[in-house]
Structure 1
Amino acid sequence: MNRFIVLGHRAYTTGDFKLDDICGGAGRLDILVRCVNSAFFLSHDLRKDSEIYLVLEGGTDAPKTVRFYGPDMKYLNPDERSTASLIRNALLKKLDGKNEIRSSPGVYISRRSFEDVMKDLSDKCRFIYLREDGEDVREYEFPEEPCYILGDDRDPTKEEERIMSEYPYDKINLGPVSYHANHCMTIVLNEMDRRVTRMEG
């Protein structure tokens, strides 16, 4: 399973935003929507071995985490508006504590924070922090169960890096320049696809 944790530092945690304004009116939710699409969509197929955790830290009801899970996924389309609609529908659900509930097939919502998500995943995967000063991805040996951590249009805060430091993690960079978060995901998945293809060949 390829997992991603994306930190939405301003992303709204309530569903009272317009789907026509997910950039300015929903705390740059547009970035997270593009990350969802990068995690799952191929040209004529859907990756069933991907899972993405959107940690929403903005708005008046933070934090919340929306999880997209490939094996159960339905109703995910490549346009940003429909993906934003799935997130908004999840945010409209009534939550009980930190228990996760299903909003639609493959989409789950909870009140988990970044710290909660890290704790929950710590025994399931190897954390990998995508950062410019990390090891070159071309030299990196991918673990069997990777979980990539990245920010939206802002780097993780010092407090978020402190939370990360409580667990073992690797740090890799994807090239000589900075990329958008969703582009980083595409590059990582492409590297993994190439290696799987070489092994199978």
Structure 2
Amino acid sequence: MSCRKRQKTSPDKTSDDFFDSLPDDLVLSILCKLSSTATSPSDFISVLITCKRLNSLGLHSLVLSKASHKTFSVKAKNWCDSLHRFLKHCADAGNIEACYTLGMIRFYCLQNRGSGASLMAKAAMNSHAPALYSLAVIQFNGSGGTKNDKDLRAGVALCARAAFLGHIDALRELGHCLQDGYGVKQNVTEGRRHPPAAPVGLPVDE
């Protein structure tokens, strides 16, 4: 009788024991998939508040590095220190979208030009098209400095790279630069191949 009593377990306890028996590597793999496909912050946060183990593993650098941009996409009125910290953790983990987003926020909203540009550069070095284009605009305008800080050639180079990666605004801007000889040798014919409304990959009538 005593053996039978020891074998008897409640459904809740069995469920808990089963989850606890899962190796961390497997749970991390699942959380990485979840964070990379999340369509809103609540998709990810709801998992973090489930239990201590999921909260701990959910904040693992591997999981944060895979988080989609929608995981930390909130309206300006809902911005808070805790979200800023979470975004920084994602950026520190190597999340390229987080680097770009936090970089833009620091550069334009918090007026921290150096840190913001550095984060955007980190994203740009990983072929992040919006980051490349944003840095191009900064170079064109001399943002955060004086008119003497403008570097038109660098702006064109960054813009060209972003355009190559399919960024529509960069493609349009590159066309203007070529037509006007802005930061690059003037080439009207080539510039007209990049009109404002031209989708990438479609032929353009000369």
The answer, yes or no, to whether TM exceeds 0.5 is no
In the superposition, the TM-score normalised over structure 2's length comes to 0.24
**What TM-score do the two structures reach when normalised by structure 1?**
0.25
Higher RCO (C-alpha under 8 Å, 6+ residues apart): 1
Which has the greater radius of gyration?
2
Q: Which structure carries more helix by proportion?
A: 2
